[in-house]
Amino acid sequence: MNRQEFEEYCEKFSSGIDKASIFDRYYDPDAVFEHPLKGTFEGKKALVEFWTAGHEGIHEVLKPLNVLFDGNQIAAEFLIEWHCLEDTEYLGHRKKGDVYYAECAAFYHLKNDKFVRVKLYLKEKK
C-alpha cells in the first residue's frame, strides 16, 4: 500500500459508504482491529458491526496529519471528528448536531497490501 492508497482509504472511510466494501478492499479477511475503549474486533463480521451498529448516530471523519510508511507497516496520526447525527451514547452522552474531536495514533500492519492488524490509541480533545 502506498500513500495515495492510504489517503483513498481515509477518504472512503470518512465518506460514509458501505463499510463492508471498505473492509473487502482494504482489510485482510482475518484482520484484527484493537480499539482502546471498545475492545478487539476480529474478522469482517465483527469489525463491520462495530463500524455500523457500534457507531450508531455517529458519522466519523478521519483527518490524517502525519503518516509514515516502513515496509509492511504504517504509522498514522489523525484528528478524528465524530459528527452526531442523533443523540447517542457513543463514548459518552452526545447531542445531535454536535461534533466531538479526538487525537488518534494508529498502527497498521499489512499483509498482501491489506490491513491485517490495526491498533489505535485515542485521546478525546476537550
Q: Residue 98 is part of a domain; what is its CATH number? A: 3.10.450.50
State the Cα–Cα distance between residues 102 and 90, nearest whole angstrom. Answer: 13
* Residue 126 predicted with pLDDT over 80: no
Instruction: State which residues form the domain around 88.
Output: 3-125
pLDDT of residue 83: 84
The rounded distance, in Å, linking the Cα atoms of 111 and 71 is: 10
The pLDDT of residue 67 is: 97
State the total domains in the chain.
1
Residue 37 reports pLDDT greater than 90: no
Would you say residue 84 has pLDDT above 90?
no
The Cα 74–Cα 25 span in angstroms is 17
